[in-house]
Amino acid sequence: MEQAEPKTGLPIYRNAFDWDALMREYPLPDVFAETVYRWPAQRVRELQNARFLRIVEVGWRNAFYRRRWHAVGLEPGDIHSLEDIVKLPPYTSDDVKESLEHDPPYGDYHGLDPSMAARMPLKLQTSGGTTGTPRATLFDPAAWEVQALTGARALYIQGARPGDVMQIPMTCSLANAPWLAYKACHDFLGILPLTTGSGIVTSTRQQLETAFRYRTNLWQSFPEYLVRLAQACTDELGRDVRDLKTRFVRTYLGPDVDGSLRRELEDRWGCPVYDAYGTNEIAAAAFECRERSGLHFMEDTVFMEVVDVDTGKPVAPGERGNLVATVFFRTLPPVIRYNLRDLGRVLSAERCGCGSHFRRMDHFLGRSDAMVKLRGVNVYPMACLPAIKSDPRTTGEWICVVERVQAGGVPRDEMEVHAEVRRDAATREGLKEGLERRLKDDMGVAVTVRLVDEGALEALANTGGREGKARRLLDRRPAYHRGSSR
Ligand SMILES: [Zn+2]
């Protein structure tokens, strides 16, 4: 008798899930662009409804959700359709952190049976930690593939094609974005990814030399670094970055309320710039198509809601509120009504010029937990941006410092906006007063401005082209006085 070949007992990645079934459920970029992406709104909604009911079943098997849902009197079977989603209590990163700290390192939030880790390949990613302890999120193989696929679909719709070369000057670390970009190009699009890492790994000059050598025609990076690359191209290589003939740049414009950041990047690079929004929990949840008129939600992988910051109730269409996400492709951990505390609003549910009915949201409008109540007025540090940019003598960098002061024996909160002034500004005359006037107009409450030298905020506000988001709020009040919007 012939001896049977020995079979592996190892948890091999390619055996971990049914690839074909997964790709039928979440179509590949070119198939997606011709099918689900163009479906009528009603058909998309029906798909979301079915996926939502399935993920609620997963939620009931998870201790974290079961505990929270029982606490509001829900029982399995109480949720009948997507209309009922409002009955499920949203949670925030604070709840996740509590779960992780209570039962480290993954908490009951992950629903991880300890033996599972030895039976299945897992990947750990964390949030950037700009707002405290990094949030850990595990990826099972199917989730790891779908999250990369979301990025690949966005790139395809933006016009990326096999044979392109994408440079990714971001470090593949516990941060998710560069992994997503790498996998999207490599695994799903036939695009050559150049994973050069951040400017610390590969100097800015080497980044540019690499780009010219290998004919990079697509980029994904943070806006601050893209500005620096363009400038260094002129200063250090004596060339125009436009000589690269970049087709497009993918980045995170953040709260670019007046579009000035996009204009600057498009002008320097000579190509379209596409905005993106996502986190490691929700993947590439929203992206711009070539129309650049709002970010389409990736409707078949995530259901996004906008809820009132104070009441948590869904807001009317077009109103600003917190983004709440329910992810369809994740089970470890499930993500069901995650209140991201990122401000957003739905711009349109109408058919876009690109042919899709996928709803579009405005660019990211800032963090709601960075909101400060000043004399009864809700103030968002991000709302300072148009004022700061309104005077060309500033560098465009600022940070809001909030302190509790005693005014005639009565405590009150005061905000001082530190604004950087360009080294080459001929005079500072009228600058402080002008900014204060504009800030009062924009925010509805008076704040003082302190002018600081160019570069003075680099460490404090995390500016200067380093990785991670810039910080716009420094809260110096005693902890118990802080806003209760969390
Ligand atoms: Zn579109």
Q: Please count the structural domains in the chain.
A: 2
- Report, as ranges of residue numbers, the positions in the chain whose pLDDT lies below 50: 480-486
Q: Are residues 269 and 405 in the same domain?
A: no
Tell me what pLDDT residue 460 has.
Answer: 79
Q: Enumerate long-range contacts of 60-68, CB under 8 Å, 24 or more apart.
A: 61/111, 62/108, 62/109, 62/111, 62/333, 62/334, 63/108, 63/111, 64/95, 64/99, 64/107, 64/108, 64/109, 64/111, 64/333, 65/334, 65/336, 67/108, 68/95
Looking at the structure, do residues 87 and 164 belong to the same domain, yes or no? yes
- pLDDT confidence of residue 132: 58
Q: Cα(475) to centroid of ligand 1, in Å?
A: 39
Residue 483: its pLDDT value, please?
39
In a domain, 82, yes or no: yes
Identify whether residues 213 and 246 lie together within a single domain: yes
What is the Å distance from ligand 1's center to 167 Cα? 25
399 falls within a domain: yes
- Say what the pLDDT of residue 373 is: 78
Last residue of a domain, one of 367, 389, 413: 367
In a domain, 486, yes or no: no
CATH number of 388's domain: 3.30.300.30
Residue-level pLDDT at 417: 95
Q: How far apart are CA 406 and CA 412, in angstroms?
A: 6
Q: Which of residues 326, 344, 367 is at a domain's end?
A: 367
CA of 26 to the centre of ligand 1 (A): 19
Residues 401 and 257 in one domain: no
CB atoms within 10 A of CB 96: 23
pLDDT of residue 485: 30
Clarify whether residues 160 and 126 are in a common domain: yes
In a domain, 3, yes or no: no
Structure tokens that stand for 33 in this block = 């662009």
Cα(353) to centroid of ligand 1, in Å? 6
Q: Rounded to the nearest whole angstrom, what is the distance from the C-alpha of residue 287 to the centroid of ligand 1?
A: 9
Q: Are residues 153 and 266 in the same domain?
A: yes
Distance 296 CA to ligand 1 centre (A): 7
Q: Let me know whether 421 and 459 are in one domain.
A: yes
Name the residue range of residue 442's domain: 371-481
Same domain, residue pair 164 and 106? yes
Per-residue model confidence (pLDDT) at position 481:
42
298 CA from centroid of ligand 1 (Å)? 11
3-class secondary structure per residue, 308-332: CCCCCCECCCCCCEEEEEEECCCCC
Specify the CATH number for the domain of residue 329: 3.40.50.12780
Find the 419 Cα to ligand 1 centroid distance in Å: 36
Residues 386 and 318 both lie in one domain: no
| 23 and 121 co-located in one domain | yes
Residue that is last in its domain, among 334, 367, 400: 367
Clarify whether residues 35 and 139 are in a common domain. Answer: yes
